Amino acid sequence: MLAPSLLVVSALFLLPMAWFFVLSFWRLRSYRLYPDFSFRNYAVAWTEYLDAAVFTLWMSLTVAAITLVIAYAMAFFIRFRAGRFSGAVLLITLATLFGGYLVKIYAWKTILGSTGILNQFLLGTGLVSEPVSWLLYSPFAIIISLTHFLLPFAVLPIYASLRRIDERHIEAARDLGASNHRAFRDIILPQSESGIFVAFTIAFLVTAGDYVTPTLVGGSSTFMVGTFIQSQFVNRMNTPLGSALSFGMLASCLVILLIARALLRACLRVR
């Protein structure tokens, strides 16, 4: 029964990835592809786009960390504090998924602009004498836009992991004298490890591969690797270099996720 799903995944994901991986070793001359096996594209990606890759990974880690903290707080509130309103709060949280990606980006572009709501509020209250220019077309704008977009995706896996926790374990810990902090650290947090890692992974990978948000709200000084990959494929028609950038970034992300997984397990095992 898994055959149709495996066929779709192979046709739409595995085979195209394998083809682009092969192309990453080819050469482009006069807009023609030559099947010459070479690591030149990876060398160019390493030398010319290293700064963009470091900035992209830093932005991805920042967005993932902020999103994870906020999402965990929201999921914890829905699971243990909202009571009979938990279903309604969860529905409201997930309803933002239907708002659309570009709609949210343009909304933040309007809010953070020099004539936006935030600057008008600051000017009206006298906190600033002129519009704050760094709110838009800056790393701050990218972080806040992507955090808002990714928050529902991060809340869902964390909430799912919290739902599986048996409240009798928490009650038993409290009966044995554990404080709320101790019960959270020793009972709730370790059992929500899978949700934490999934939420972090989603936020990290989406940010690392995004090129729309940096283009619309990031400005000319915040180019990320996704922007260069899109340019190589669409504008320069340099499929080999674009593929090399993609797989180089993918490998870097996998290494960071493995390190994050190990650190998470080590932290949750510390008592």
Q: What is the pLDDT of residues 36-91, one digit of tens each?
A: 888 999 999 999 999 999 999 999 999 999 999 999 999 999 999 988 898 899 99
Question: Hey, what long-range contacts does 232-239 have (CB within 8 A, 24 or more apart)?
Answer: 237/28, 237/31, 238/28, 239/20, 239/23, 239/26, 239/28, 239/33
What are the pLDDT digits (tens) for 83-136? 889 889 999 988 888 878 888 999 999 999 888 889 898 888 888 888 888 888
CB atoms within 10 A of CB 130: 9
Say how far residue 41 (Cα) sits from the centre of its chain.
26
Structure tokens at 270: 């510390």
Residue length of the chain: 271
Between CA 11 and CA 15, with CA 12 as vertex, the angle to 5 degrees is: 55
Taken in order of first residue, the domains within the chain and their CATH numbers are 49-269 (1.10.3720.10)
What is the distance, to the nearest Å, from the Cα of residue 178 to the centroid of all Cα atoms in its chain? 35
Residues 172 and 232 sit within 8 Å (Cβ to Cβ): no
